[in-house]
Structure 1
Amino acid sequence: MKKRFAVILAAGQGTRMKSKLYKVLHPILDRPMIQYVIDALKPAKLEKLVTIVGHGAERVKAEIGTNSEFVLQEEQLGTAHAVLQAADILKNKTGTTIVVCGDTPLIKPETYEKLFEHHELSGSKATILTTIIKNPTGYGRVIRNESGEVERIVEHKDADDKEKSVNEINTGTYCFDNEALFSALKKVNNNNAQQEYYLPDVIEILKAENEKVTAFTTEDDEETTGINDRVALAHAENLMKIRINEAHLRNGVTITDPNNTYIGPDVTIDQDVIVYPGTVITGKTHIETEAVIGPHTEIESCTIGTGTVIRQSVIKNSKIGNDVNIGPFAHIRPETSIGDDVRVGNFVEIKKSTIGNTTKVPHLSYIGDAKLGKGINIGCGTITVNYDGVNKHLTTIEDNSFIGCNSNLVAPVTIEEGSYVAAGSTITDDVPKDSLAIARARQTNKEGYVAKLKK
């Protein structure tokens, strides 16, 4: 197989997005659109991947990291000029170079592979990725000769009536013989209204030199959607959502309302999980079999165990065990680990805490910076008072303890195994094993006091 290289065009600011965020960094289901392009190219086993950056170069580079080499296009003088910036890295290499736009996140790995294969097997110097659309108005038409080779690309404004009737369009993605590409790029001029150097001119140059130029057509026209504004971004996100949800459905996941369920590209879900509407699952989340998620639940970068039920809740960067019941209206904050058979009820917030097996935090409690053992019952309204205004401190509650309602546990403090804390207590000292801690004022009844007030 020939060596393969890739150039991603990502220098544009994307003014039509009307945003301070550079176009290729706009997210689709919690992932920057350019990352989809990079991930789709990875199976092609590239020797080198070069991203052409311009506006927001440092931020784009920070987002992509080591997945690519970078070249700065200081002035945006057109697509041919952009590719030419990669000459120092690629110009003397033998093989195939694919040129793709960083704002086309829907092209599948299989399509890139078929494009590479078509180009290499046909012996072409250039191959254009094309598609067929019902209304090609505004797009460059691909005109083929009788043998099926590309004769030329005609922009809509320059096309005659016969050419305008052609429904095959140029998607802006190309494969080139690498040496032929950089040789032709030197010959591209800017004799046009925009005074820019356009990559499609390379096709004309190669044709004028009697080189073979072909096209490979993808059947899915929506796959080649380019994103230039927020309308296109929303459309692309919807298409990606459908693609991801359908993959999970085919793998045995029940999604009761796919139109109102949002699952990120890095999420993995086992068979026989049920996902209800209004649910958003993102990051590197894994959900094990027979879990029930939603409705109206947000999960980010979590592991969810077998048989766990989560309803109307928010969970981030945490590990949830098997057969756990969470919600409704619970908030599990980062760095929390919840064991098996745990109950976390309504209006409970847990932050950076460990909860042991079979422990119950039923409702209206805050558990922060805490280590809870197994078999504990946390009464309604309990608070681990973890912050002294400067530092956070740890609360430890050992196995089989019972914390009464409306208790304040002022950290650092330890409730030892099997102990009870009386309702309404504010605990500031450690509680020994199997003890009852009571820390509240003794009740006083003043009989007849209300009658005096009324006088």
Structure 2
Amino acid sequence: MPPKTIAVILAAGKGTRMKSSRAKVLHEVFFKPMLHHVLDAVVQADIEQIAVIVGHQRREVLASIDHYAHLPVIQKEQLGTGHAVLCTKKACAESEQVMILCGDTPLIRPETLQEMIKTHAGAQSTVTLMTTILDDPFGYGRVISDEQGNILEIVEQKDATEEQRKIGEINAGIYLVEREFLFNALRQVGTDNSQGEVYLTDIIAIANRQGHMVHKFVHPEAIDVLGVNSRVELARAHAELQMRHNDKIMLSGVTMYSPESILVAPDCSIGGDSVIQAGVRITGDSTTGREVQLETGVVLHKCRVGNRCRIGAHSVLHNCTIEEEEHIPPLTYRVG
């Protein structure tokens, strides 16, 4: 049997760079809070148990995820990522290995997590770290490797030398660690750094000092591990999820012109051989039949559109039923 795995999701931070009174992980990306995207990826990766570490606005965060099966862990003081994981020791007691993720990485895919677990098992590692390569690694922890490519340590941006800051390989913030080593190592981590915090990243250097196997899982798609720390990155994450969804729709037999400008909510369905022009927005569990023509700028919310309908440009329809082969003139505004 494969080792029993628990996913520990870090969701306790304030997210000061968001310039918001709302906890960062509650900001919506493609129709739901970014934390929900991370939880969905973990669930779809068939990871047995989930612990969510909360701190800032913990009542609001826990209320938003009450429909997910999880163990809540409270970090009363914000003393760093290492301290946050240390708070989960009791929650992790019955698991053999711990996957650690950040609650602000809504683009992570379940198949990536599954592949990382498989790689970790194959390499018989004590620690596996996901990394990726960035053209502009500013703000990320740099992965310091030896000539053979083995990870020696991770150095945070604020603690890095000028030479280390030139390194393009960065810590993607996802770890898979054997439980017993993890909590023993975290008790050894100090706070001698620019932030005065317990860094989770220090477990890499500790593992190397103790002769443990440390493995690197290099993920080639850097966008998948994008951490959302600002409104700019929030917009990038939304655009990426929007295009992933639109790709699925187009591959199902729907034509989209300028798909990057078209927004279709995940709870909506579009019939085959339909054509959607630029700037269309479809939300609210709307459905369309086959061979539907949606012209530029159409907005549908809670609508049912029959086969072979044409909706004229810049029409806004709310809670409407459009019968088969009906044509709606451009600039129509209709409710009910």
Normalising by structure 1, report the TM-score. Answer: 0.67
Whole-angstrom CA distance in 2 between matches of 1:121 and 1:16:
39
Whole-angstrom CA distance in 2 between matches of 1:284 and 1:138:
39
- Report the residue type matching 1:291 in the other structure: V
Q: Which residue among 315, 320, 323 is the counterpart of 2:318?
A: 315
> Which residues of 2 match residues 168-207 of structure 1 at below 5 A?
168-207=169-208
Whole-angstrom CA distance in 2 between matches of 1:293 and 1:200:
50
> Which residues of 2 match residues 40-51 of structure 1 at below 5 A?
40-51=41-52
Q: Contact between 1:313 and 1:328, CA under 8 Å: does it hold in 2?
A: no
Counterpart in 2 of 1:231? 232
Q: 1:294 to 1:152 in 2, by over 3 A?
A: same
Shift of 1:128: 0.8
- Secondary structure of 1:234's partner? helix
- Report the residue type matching 1:232 in the other structure: E
Shift of 1:157: 5.0
Counterpart in 2 of 1:62? 63
Counterpart in 2 of 1:349? 335
Q: 1:179 to 1:271 in 2, by over 3 A?
A: farther
Residues 32-84 of structure 1 deviation map (CA, whole Å, 9 limit, x = unaligned): 11111111122221221111111221222222223133112121111111112
> Which residues of 2 match residues 186-335 of structure 1 at below 5 A?
186-300=187-301, 302-311=303-312, 312-316=315-319, 322-326=324-328, 328-329=330-331
Q: Which moved more, 1:11-20 or 1:299-308?
A: 299-308
Larger radius of gyration: 1
Shift of 1:304: 4.0
Q: 1:146 to 1:82 in 2, by over 3 A?
A: same
Q: Which moved more, 1:137-146 or 1:63-72?
A: 137-146
Counterpart in 2 of 1:415? none
Whole-angstrom CA distance in 2 between matches of 1:271 and 1:173:
39
Residues 167-219 of structure 1 deviation map (CA, whole Å, 9 limit, x = unaligned): 21111111111222222222222222322111101222222211111111111
Q: Contact between 1:140 and 1:154, CA under 8 Å: does it hold in 2?
A: yes
Shift of 1:147: 4.6
Q: Which moved more, 1:227-236 or 1:280-289?
A: 280-289
Counterpart in 2 of 1:127? 128
Whole-angstrom CA distance in 2 between matches of 1:205 and 1:266:
46
- Secondary structure of 1:143's partner? strand
1:73 aligns with 2:75: yes
Q: Which residue among 82, 87, 90 is the counterpart of 2:89?
A: 87
Residues 99-141 of structure 1 deviation map (CA, whole Å, 9 limit, x = unaligned): 1111111111221111111112111111111001223344322
Structure 2: runs of 5 or more not aligned: none
Identity of aligned residues (%): 37
Whole-angstrom CA distance in 2 between matches of 1:322 and 1:199:
59
Residues 135-164 of structure 1 deviation map (CA, whole Å, 9 limit, x = unaligned): 334432223335543222233455556644
Counterpart in 2 of 1:448? none
**Which protein, 1 or 2, shows the higher relative CO under an 8 Å CA cutoff with sep ≥ 6?**
2
Count of matched residue pairs:
332
Q: Contact between 1:30 and 1:282, CA under 8 Å: does it hold in 2?
A: no
CA RMSD of aligned residues (A): 2.4
Counterpart in 2 of 1:155? 156
Whole-angstrom CA distance in 2 between matches of 1:263 and 1:347:
19
- Secondary structure of 1:87's partner? coil
Q: 1:264 to 1:178 in 2, by over 3 A?
A: farther
Q: 1:203 to 1:276 in 2, by over 3 A?
A: same
Q: Contact between 2:153 and 2:204, CA under 8 Å: does it hold in 1?
A: yes
Whole-angstrom CA distance in 1 between matches of 2:235 and 2:211:
42
Whole-angstrom CA distance in 1 between matches of 2:321 and 2:188:
58
Q: Contact between 2:6 and 2:95, CA under 8 Å: does it hold in 1?
A: no
